[in-house]
Amino acid sequence: MALSPTSRKNIPDEERLIVALDLPDASAARAMVDRLGDSVRFYKVGLELFMAGGYFDFVEWLVGQDKRVFCDLKFFDISATVAAAVKRLAGRGVSFTTIHGNDAIMEAAASVDRGDLKVLAVTVLTSLDRGDLDDLGFRCDVHDLVLSRARRALELGCDGVVSSGLEARALRESLDHRLLVVTPGIRPVDNRVEDDQKRVMTPARAFENGADYIVVGRPIRNAADPRQAAEAIQAEIAGVFR
């Protein structure tokens, strides 16, 4: 009998939900954090807030609020530059960061002294489907590309990957539980909002498929009551791991 792909890592249930703060500025992001209160312990801050200014002041504020932080900046440059960027980010109290790129970039990012900072390699963005990969010149199947990139990331010293829940089960079957799997593109069952995410999954199904963490943005951020929406997802997570 095959072992369950459900995450076995010792992660507090309430930290498995990462809320994406894709908001126009740090003031709006702080207001959302205050509104969510203790319903959320982990936040993702990405390029939109980075370009708004005050990014690292906001990161420091989040850490000071006893929140975990995922700096989703998807570093992609020559390997020495990516390594230097990861090294600079270490020591700021950040938990996760993301990198793109080839073997040399992944290896360089993983090789620096980074303390508790976990390096996640992006496999295939959840906004991309088969047609998009054709446009980019990738002739292999999405599933095969994700597995290939995840396997290389693990071999080169990365801590985990960002991957759709659609591929999480295959990652567990192929690479067992050594790799952290962070899954974006999460949509509650009753969410019917059209957006740019094409490869999506419900919170419970993502965890049942093997995700360690899920990233949720719009279904919480755009809800009539964001805290209530976050609490509903937290309850769903608790139901999976109870």
Q: Just list the catalytic residues.
A: 74
Tell me which residue of 19, 48, 14 sits closest to 33, measured CA to CA. Answer: 19
DSSP state of 10: -
For residues 199 and 217, the answer to whether their CB atoms sit within 8 Å is no
Q: Please state, in angstroms and rounded to a whole number, the distance separating the CA atoms of residues 230 and 18.
A: 10
Measured over all CA atoms, what is the biggest interatomic distance in the chain, rounded to whole angstroms?
52
Query: Can you tell me the distance from the alpha carbon of 192 to that of 110, in angstroms, rounded to the nearest whole number?
Result: 38
- 193: which 2 tokens? 């909002």
The answer to whether 218 and 186 are in contact (CB under 8 A) is no
Residues 6 or more apart whose Cβ sits within 8 Å of residue 26: 49, 52, 53, 54, 55, 57, 58, 61
State the Cα angle at 50 between 49 and 54, rounded to 5°.
85
